[in-house]
Amino acid sequence: EVQLVESGGGLVKPGRSLRLSCTASGFTFGDYAMSWFRQAPGKGLEWVSFIRSKAYGGTTEYAASVKGRFIISRDDSKSIAYLQMNSLKTEDTAVYYCTRGVYWFDPWGQGTLVTVSS
């Protein structure tokens, strides 16, 4: 079964950092691009970041709202995607989901809640 499991969320103060992990199983992780999305409480979905597979250079893309603060990476040997979140703001408070794909996304992990508050 293809599965994605996020971890690393929690309560953090503004300006601090947090690293999220997305552990994959059930498929050849290195063959796929991976993305992070988020959903603020009571709000809609927002794309955050994207990383290509190594076959396509492993390069990265970011939404304007997080560019320069967040860093996406991957460890294909461990089947894990990461999202390093720096200089966190209160508006980064959301459930963060990881997912697989390029033009459409499936499956999605269960999400991990990040709360940025003093």
Which residues would be at the binding site for another protein (CB under 8 A)?
35, 44-47, 50, 61, 63, 97, 103-111
Q: Closest CB to another protein among 103 and 118?
A: 103
Cβ neighbours, 10 Å, residue 22: 27
Q: Closest CB to another protein among 46 and 76?
A: 46
Structure tokens at 59: 């390069």
Q: Closest CB to another protein among 90 and 110?
A: 110
The answer to whether 49 and 118 are in contact (CB under 8 A) is: no
- Shortest CB 58 distance to another protein, Å: 13
Query: Which residues have C-beta within 8 Å of that of residue 66, sequence separation ≥ 6?
Result: 48, 49, 85, 92
- Shortest CB 108 distance to another protein, Å: 4
